[in-house]
Chain A
Amino acid sequence: EVQLVESGGGLVQPGGSLRLSCTASGFTLSTYSMNWVRQAPGTGLEWVSQIRGSSTFRDYAESVKGRFTISRDDARNSLHLQMSRLRVEDTAIYYCARENYDPSHGYYLFDSWGQGILVTVSS
């Protein structure tokens, strides 16, 4: 069974840092593109970052570029998001999501999501 479990959230002061983790089970994380998506309280979904299977391609939303770094630990089958210079507006539930590929139709799809982890940036 495919499962994604986020950890590492909590309360941090503005300007501080936090490292989120997403541990995968039921599949090999390195063979998929993986994403972080966040949801501020009472608002919609915002795509944050993606790392491709090869790890040579990584991209970020403009709102976090230069402050967040996505990475992967293949030995631990885990995904990470290093967040620095945190702002109040980074307060959100952070989800990791697997991007699968349907070869019979030629489409990508976010088919598995973690339960989410809350990050609160406040003084």
Chain B
Amino acid sequence: EIVMTQSPATLSLSPGETATLSCRASQSVSTYLAWFQQKPGQAPRLLIYGASIRAAGVPGRFTGRGSETEFTLTISSLQSEDFAVYYCQKSDNWPPLTFGGGTKVEIK
């Protein structure tokens, strides 16, 4: 089973700063990697799939990069609504479709 590891666990930043989140796969997942945003009391929201493709309606300040085992999600110029928990997911349609443990982006 492929394990997805996210770092850091918590990122403390101020509005306007840039957030860089990391996701590492224990084996290559090619570019079958998705990123989700989750706010308290809400369901996850798809941000990025195919490692770098923004989902419909996702602002351009969200950028996904990477392949094989190393991936990053960059959020440029953090807005108040971006403070949330972010999860990566192996998304190659071959279960288990493992999620990473999450990175919380909090206001400094």
Contacts and interface: CB of A to CB of B under 8 A. Distances in A.
Contacts of B100: 44
Nearest to A107: B50
Interface size class of A (residues with CB under 8 A): 20 to 34
A33 B101 CA distance: 24
Contacts of B46: 109-111
B93 A99 contact: yes
Contacts of A59: 95-96
A33 B44 contact: no
A95 interface: yes
Contacts, number: 74
A109 B99 contact: no
Interface size class of B (residues with CB under 8 A): 20 to 34
Interface string A26-38: 0000000101010
B97 interface: yes
Contacts of B102: 44-45
Contact of B99 (A45, A111, A114): A45
B91 A107 contact: yes
A93 B97 CA distance: 18
B24 to A, nearest CB: 15
Interface of A: 33, 35, 37, 44-47, 50, 59-62, 95, 99, 102, 105-111, 113-116
Given A107-B50, A111-B55, 20 more contacts: A33-B93, A35-B97, A45-B38, A45-B87, A45-B89, A46-B99, A47-B97, A47-B98, A60-B95, A102-B50, A102-B53, A106-B50, A108-B32, A108-B91, A108-B92, A109-B91, A110-B89, A110-B91, A115-B43, A116-B43
